Amino acid sequence: MDLRKTSDDRQFREEVRDFLVRRLPPNLKAKAYRLQKLTKDELVGWHRILHEQGWGGPSWPRRFGGTGWTVMQQKIFEEECYLAGAPRYVPQINMIGPALQRYGTPAQQEYFLPRLLRLEDWWCQGYSEPGAGSDLTSLRTRARRVGDRYLVSGQKIWTTNAPWANWMFALVRTSDEGRPADGISFLLMEMGSPGVTAKWIKGIDGGGTLAEVFLDNVEVPVANLVHEENKGWAVAKSVLEHERVGQAGFGQCKFLLKLLKRIMSASDANPHGAQSSPALKRRLAELEIELIAHEWSLLRMLSASKLGIEPSMLKNRGAAIQQSLTELMLDCVSPGLRYGDSPALPKGAEPDEGLPTPAAVAAAYLDFRKVSIFAGTTEVQKNIISKALLA
């Protein structure tokens, strides 16, 4: 695949930029530059704007209502959205969506995919459990089949925005025979069902999106089984593959770099001398070089006909760069900030100027510690890479 930008790609980039200028709500852009989290209503509202434009499924094929964009167009779209301060499209679009397109029954596809494109349903991911995080195949949430229903009991943890969700795609154990991965099934579960309880978990950043879900004899129709019973691990891996590609975080990295440069160039908002510090400037240059290399690695992956270890490699590099960018950002604004501090805005740095407070930067730094954990820890990704290379 020729990855050089064509005139069509340049025209498409201008189309995306023009759309963002016209349709991106100013309050969402302001929140992005202040490193503030968006509400569910704000995210849904933005997705509805994208859907009206016909861009609700950026990576979906046309036959499922998606854009049918090339991989280069998808990259351009993500990059321009981030650089403009637009929210990333809701991750579930590119997680449960492709899984249902590949493994779902015609009835599941007909019902769920159009609703997902319109974001009429909000999904959460029921994977991790207490004691079964990095070793996901050791999960203990159990589904017992009774007639045309499964009765599901167990607990899920680190379930992003679970209290917002009305649906969860979950991994459950339906057999103890064979390898641990052989007895796992993939179920679609209504969060409003009797026996489902979702509770927020306060993150290290003081807020966050994490939650835990308790399941007590929850009835799930057998019709909500995706693929085959005891073969859910294949579906789970396909979801993780899409998630890890998304967590390469190229657009996020570019936005953080742009914001970091703003902070470093704003002398009034930078009382600790980042502007004149050769050490901080050198770190900035090194990170920018790393990001360029990361972009080329992403392009090589996007041009590959078949994926192997590339998602794991990109996920690890993207996580490391995001963490380094937020660490440098914190060093620039307030290297002595303690957890829980809420200092006043620096002189001349009002919120409408597009600069985060030191407290917001500290919260972002703490929040970004999770990117090397979710979607498979850095250590798990290294194991995947090493096993593939040694095989």
3-state secondary structure of 36: coil
Closest residue by Cα to residue 125 from 111, 115, 114, 139 = 139
| pLDDT recorded at residue 189 | 98
Residue type, 81: C
| pLDDT recorded at residue 64 | 95
First vs last C-alpha separation in the chain: 27
How far is 222 from 145, CA to CA, in rounded Å? Answer: 8
Q: Which of 29-43, 347-361, 367-381 has the highest mean pLDDT?
A: 29-43
Q: What percent of the chain has pLDDT over 70?
A: 86
How far is 83 from 17, CA to CA, in rounded Å? Answer: 10
Does the pLDDT value for residue 88 go beyond 80?
no
Residue type, 133: G
Which carries the bigger pLDDT value, residue 274 or residue 80?
80
The whole-number average pLDDT for the span 9-33 is 95
* Mode of pairing for the β-strands spanning 167-173 and 123-126: parallel
How far is 391 from 387, CA to CA, in rounded Å? Answer: 6
Closest residue by Cα to residue 82 from 7, 17, 37, 12 = 17
Reported as a single tens digit per residue, the pLDDT across 164-189 is 999 999 999 999 998 988 999 999 99
What tokens were used for 199? Answer: 């509770």
* Surface-to-core class of residue 318, CB atoms within 10 Å of its CB (0-12 exposed, 13-18 middle, 19+ buried): buried
Contact (CB, 8 A) for 274 and 263: yes
**Residue ranges per domain, the chain?**
7-89, 123-232, 247-390
Does the pLDDT value for residue 114 go beyond 50?
yes
How far is 359 from 12, CA to CA, in rounded Å? Answer: 38
How far is 358 from 366, CA to CA, in rounded Å? Answer: 12
Q: Given pLDDT bands bounded at 50, 70 and 90, which one contains residue 268?
A: very low
Does the pLDDT value for residue 303 go beyond 50?
yes
Secondary-structure class of domain 247-390 per CATH: mainly alpha
Contact (CB, 8 A) for 274 and 102: no
What is the number of other CB atoms lying within 10 angstroms of the CB of residue 44? 17
Mean pLDDT estimate for the chain: 86
Closest residue by Cα to residue 77 from 120, 125, 19, 34 = 19
Could you give the C-alpha distances from 65 to 59, 78, 101, 122, 217, in angstroms and in order?
10, 19, 11, 18, 35
Residue type, 153: S
What tokens were used for 269? Answer: 């908002």
Q: Which residue pairs, CB below 8 angstroms and at least 24 apart, start in 11-17?
A: 12/73, 12/76, 13/76, 13/80, 16/76, 16/77, 16/80, 16/81, 17/80, 17/84
Closest residue by Cα to residue 48 from 68, 65, 23 = 23
What is the set of active-site residues?
Answer: 243
Residue type, 203: G
Topology (CATH) of 123-232: Butyryl-CoA Dehydrogenase, subunit A; domain 2 (2.40.110)
Q: Given pLDDT bands bounded at 50, 70 and 90, which one contains residue 4?
A: low
Q: Given pLDDT bands bounded at 50, 70 and 90, which one contains residue 133?
A: low
Contact (CB, 8 A) for 72 and 3: yes
DSSP letter for 339, please. T
Q: Given pLDDT bands bounded at 50, 70 and 90, which one contains residue 40?
A: very high
Does the pLDDT value for residue 343 go beyond 50?
no
The Cα angle at residue 197 between residues 193 and 199, in degrees rounded to 5: 145
Give this prediction's pTM: 0.85
State the number of CA atoms in the 13 A half-sphere of 169 facing the CB.
26
Contact (CB, 8 A) for 170 and 126: yes
> Residues for the chain: how many in total?
391
* Surface-to-core class of residue 214, CB atoms within 10 Å of its CB (0-12 exposed, 13-18 middle, 19+ buried): middle
